[in-house]
C-alpha cells in the first residue's frame, strides 16, 4: 500500500473540517492528515487530536492574493511531505471529499495504491446543492450522502488534487502548473461548500470572509442550490461517463490544463449506493 498524506488550510470552517477529519482519518489514518489553520487568532479544534494540526500566521487579506499565497504554502508543504517518504499527497479544501465509487468495494487508499500516477490525478467533480422543500439542514446525525442527493457535474471541482511528486498547484487546486490533468474512472471529488442554505447564510454573514472579498464568489457559487432545486436530475452513471470523456478532451482556450464542458449545467441524482460512504 502507498503512503498517502492529505493536507488542507482552513479558516472559520469547523463544520466541514470535522467531517474532513472523520472521513480522511478513516480512509488514510489520522496520522497522515495535515491541517493548517490560517491565522493565529484561531485555536486547534479538539476533534483534530491525532492529526498533524498547526496554526499559521494569516496569509493575505484579500481573496486573490491570499489564495496565491495559500497555494504556494501548501505546495511547499506537499514537497516536504514527499521528502518525508510519502508516495502521494492530496490537497483539498475542508469542504471537499474524494471518494471511490462504492460499487468497487474498496477504499480510497487501496484505490490510489493501484494507480500508476506520473504527476497528478483528478477525480470527477460533483458540486452538491440542496433541493429545497425535499432536503433539510445538514446534520452529523446521519451521513452527508444520505441527506444530499443532487449535484451539478462541475468542471471547477475536477481538480488535480492528487500529486505524485513536488509541483505547484494553481489557485484553489484547480490545476498543476506546467502539467496536464488525468481524470480517474470511479473517483469523485464531492464539494459540499454550497450544499446547505443555512451554512451559506452564515458564510455571507461572516465579516471576515466579506472583508477578504468572498461575498460575490459565495453568491455566484450558491447557484448550485438553485440548480439542485429547479433542474431535472439526470441519470448518474450515464452522465458522469459522458462528463469524463468531455472534460478529458475539451479545454478552455485560456487554460489548456483545465477541463471544460461547454458551460453545460447537468444535475445528477446520486445513487443510493453512496449513502454510507460519507
CB burial readout 227-263, b (16+ within 10 A) else e = bbbeeebeebeebbeebbebbeeebeeeeebbbbbee
Number of domains in the chain: 1
pLDDT band at 202 (very low <50, low <70, confident <90, very high): confident
Write down the pLDDT at residue 219.
Answer: 55
Q: What sign for the dihedral angle of Cα 107, 109, 110, 116?
A: positive
Structural domain that includes position 116: 4-274
pTM of the model: 0.93
pLDDT digits (tens, 9 = 90+) for 170-184: 989 999 999 998 999
Distance of alpha carbon 40 from alpha carbon 20, whole angstroms: 21
**HSE of 142 in the Cβ direction (CA atoms, 13 Å)?**
11
Report the range of poorest mean pLDDT among 4-8, 39-43, 103-107, 222-226: 222-226
**CB–CB of 173/234 below 8 Å?**
no
End-to-end CA distance of the chain: 22
CATH number, domain of 87, equals 3.90.550
Cα→Cα distances 70→104, 110, 143, 168, 214, Å: 35, 29, 30, 11, 15
Burial (CB count <10 Å: 0-12, 13-18, 19+), residue 151: buried
The pLDDT, as a whole number, for residue 248 is 94
Mean pLDDT computed over 154-175: 94
Determine contact, residues 153/128, Cβ cutoff 8 Å. no
Residue 122's nearest CA partner among 186, 191, 182, 190 is 182
Cα–Cα distances (Å) from 24 to 7, 18, 94, 130, in that order, read: 10, 10, 11, 23
pLDDT tens figures, 81-94 = 999 999 999 999 99
Q: What is the pLDDT of residue 13?
A: 87
Mean confidence (pLDDT) of the chain: 91
Name residues whose C-beta falls within 8 Å of residue 210's C-beta, 6 or more positions apart in sequence.
204
Q: Would you place residue 211 in the very low, low, confident or very high pLDDT band (cuts 50, 70, 90)?
A: low
pLDDT tens, residue by residue, 214-251: 556 555 667 899 999 999 999 999 999 999 999 999 98
Amino acid at each position: 500500500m502507498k503512503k498517502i498524506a492529505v493536507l488542507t488550510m482552513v479558516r472559520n470552517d469547523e463544520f466541514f473540517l470535522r467531517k474532513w477529519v472523520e472521513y480522511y482519518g478513516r480512509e488514510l489514518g489520522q496520522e497522515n492528515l495535515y491541517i493548517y489553520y490560517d491565522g493565529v487568532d484561531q485555536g486547534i479544534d479538539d476533534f483534530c487530536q491525532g492529526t498533524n494540526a498547526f496554526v499559521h500566521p494569516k496569509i493575505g487579506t484579500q481573496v486573490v492574493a491570499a489564495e496565491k499565497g495559500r497555494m504556494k504554502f501548501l505546495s511547499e508543504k506537499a514537497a516536504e511531505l514527499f521528502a518525508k517518504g510519502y508516495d502521494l499527497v492530496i490537497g483539498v479544501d475542508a469542504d471537499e471529499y474524494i471518494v471511490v465509487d462504492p460499487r468497487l468495494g474498496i477504499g480510497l487508499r487501496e484505490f490510489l495504491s493501484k494507480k500508476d500516477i506520473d504527476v497528478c490525478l483528478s477525480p470527477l467533480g460533483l458540486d452538491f446543492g440542496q433541493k429545497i422543500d425535499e432536503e433539510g439542514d445538514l446534520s452529523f446525525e446521519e451521513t452527508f450522502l444520505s441527506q444530499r442527493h443532487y449535484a451539478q457535474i462541475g468542471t471547477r471541482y475536477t481538480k488535480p488534487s492528487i500529486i505524485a511528486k513536488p509541483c505547484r498547484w494553481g489557485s484553489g487546486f484547480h490545476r498543476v502548473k506546467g502539467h496536464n490533468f488525468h481524470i480517474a474512472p470511479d473517483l469523485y471529488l464531492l464539494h459540499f461548500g454550497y450544499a446547505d442554505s443555512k451554512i451559506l447564510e452564515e458564510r455571507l454573514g461572516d465579516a471576515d470572509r466579506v472583508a477578504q472579498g468572498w461575498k460575490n464568489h459565495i453568491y455566484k457559487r450558491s447557484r448550485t442550490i438553485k440548480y439542485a432545486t429547479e433542474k431535472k436530475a439526470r441519470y448518474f452513471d450515464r452522465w458522469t461517463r459522458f462528463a469524463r470523456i468531455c472534460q478529458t478532451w475539451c479545454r478552455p482556450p485560456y487554460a489548456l490544463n483545465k477541463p471544460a464542458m461547454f458551460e453545460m449545467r447537468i444535475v445528477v441524482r446520486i445513487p443510493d449506493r453512496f449513502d454510507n460512504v460519507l
